[in-house]
Chain A
């Protein structure tokens, strides 16, 4: 069953059509990657899916319900959480507080919002600690986010998305700017999350993609030009021309 689906999704900025009639089907429980050259419209597609801005036309269905035009702050409550391509955390907060904020947003009750001490909310606090443990940052929970390394900030970025206990995780280049060693760590992390969540992954590094994906969609100039398993994509001549062209031709 498709948990996340788009129907002829289009976004234009003036004369530029960044996303053009995209029809994407993400099956529940799979890891679905979106690849494509820089400027192909991958991040714009993510921004549409997470309500950063509304599409020019087309529809987005989440779990069969039409969520087109739902603003960003409501998307998280539906069970769609994202990580950002450029590290986007709360720098002055401790790691735990970074994650706690996401956990609390999606907790069942906001009773005592104005007067109860934040630590007294056991359920979100537990979920936050679990998310930090999932990405291997539990030991640094009390350190401020601005003091940890770039690689760790990328892991934190992932933990913030996890803390919301989402049904679908949208990961925008989780390995952006990481060293080979850190990249290996991140790949292991994403692989560990596979199966527990439905994951939509944007990535540039082909070795990661081919390693972890169940299905791959290829974007080029705003359109999807191919979709299939990693083997099918590697064999697809159109993909080779458009994307792998420089390397494989």
Chain B
């Protein structure tokens, strides 16, 4: 793919433009977005509850990292498993319904998880969050060094992107898009739509789980916000701005979203206003997000030339 060189260059350059911690957050949020977009862009399911999987994984893996001193890779494995399992549970209930009811179910179950985290203060710390999540060293590499951790996150992001690329080009990718295009027809040719939607949920949940654990280790804390609907909304927001019709849309969206929130929030407390404007522009003029805007500009300039 022609996008890969660009992505590798971005990975190399980014930590010298913004702080490594923010650069790492961009790639983590991109992993989160990749998982969502399998549902949103490829299957046509708007899930407003992705932070359920992100947050659950962050809490469980964070707790084990903090109290049982597990290694980095076991923590990631557990996070992926928790993300996938919670998505299996939530997805099983949600795929029974479609349209607005589906969206409301993802949202309602997200709230359920949120209030469990909010109330269960002995484990999650409630509103204060769960601080003290360590970044254990692996084979002598000290991940407390921001640059080392950044490279680690980047490598996992690249791996996630490669995996997602394989998934969307596999038969499963086509089946999910078929369900998005015409669910009745997909059933008639022999695909049980709820089963495949659930599979998309679990895969998306596993990606969210990975992102959740990386996030907890990045900031050393699992804030309550990690499992709130705000986080669920943010990832939908970022993905739509980037362009849900493309594999790379969520990556661009993550870039715009994190960069805006980190650079603008120190300058101007009302920065979400900018996001709102960006979102309105996307919805009104560029339904395919930044990716479509870019394609149109490119085509326009070619026609002129």
Report whether A114 and B172 are in contact in the complex, using a CB–CB cutoff of 8 Å: yes
Query: Shortest distance in angstroms between B257's beta carbon and chain A's nearest beta carbon?
Result: 27
Identify the B interface with A (CB < 8 A).
166-167, 169-175, 177-178, 181-182, 184-193, 203
Q: How big is the A interface, by class?
A: 35 or more
| Separation of A33 and B186 alpha carbons in the complex (Å) | 26
Task: Name the residue of chain B whose CB is nearest to the CB of A105.
Answer: B190
Identify the A interface with B (CB < 8 A).
50, 71-77, 81-82, 84, 88-93, 97, 100-102, 104-106, 110, 112-118, 121, 160, 164
Chain B residues whose CB sits within 8 angstroms of the CB of A117 once the complex forms: 166, 169-170
| Separation of A160 and B186 alpha carbons in the complex (Å) | 11
Q: Looking at chain A's contact residues, is the secondary structure mostly helix, strand, loop, or mixed?
A: loop
Return the contact of A93 from the options B171, B177, B189 (Cβ within 8 A): B177
Instruction: Give the 4 A-B residue pairs with the shortest CB-CB distance, closest first.
Output: A76-B190, A105-B190, A102-B189, A90-B181
Report whether B177 and A118 are in contact in the complex, using a CB–CB cutoff of 8 Å: no
Query: Shortest distance in angstroms between B266's beta carbon and chain A's nearest beta carbon?
Result: 42
Query: Shortest distance in angstroms between B173's beta carbon and chain A's nearest beta carbon?
Result: 7
| Separation of A73 and B196 alpha carbons in the complex (Å) | 12
| Separation of A94 and B216 alpha carbons in the complex (Å) | 43
Return the contact of A118 from the options B170, B184, B187, B188 (Cβ within 8 A): B170
Return the contact of A73 from the options B167, B178, B190 (Cβ within 8 A): B190
A-B contacts besides A50-B188, A90-B185, A101-B178, 10 pairs, CB < 8 Å:
A73-B187, A73-B191, A73-B193, A76-B189, A90-B182, A101-B189, A106-B190, A112-B171, A113-B171, A118-B170
Report whether A115 and B170 are in contact in the complex, using a CB–CB cutoff of 8 Å: yes
Report whether A112 and B178 are in contact in the complex, using a CB–CB cutoff of 8 Å: no
Chain B residues whose CB sits within 8 angstroms of the CB of A121 once the complex forms: 171
Task: Name the residue of chain A whose CB is nearest to the CB of B245.
Answer: A92
Given A73-B192, A77-B190 in contact, is the A88-B184 Cβ separation under 8 Å? yes
Return the contact of A113 from the options B170, B181, B190 (Cβ within 8 A): B170
Return the contact of B182 from the options A89, A110, A115 (Cβ within 8 A): A89
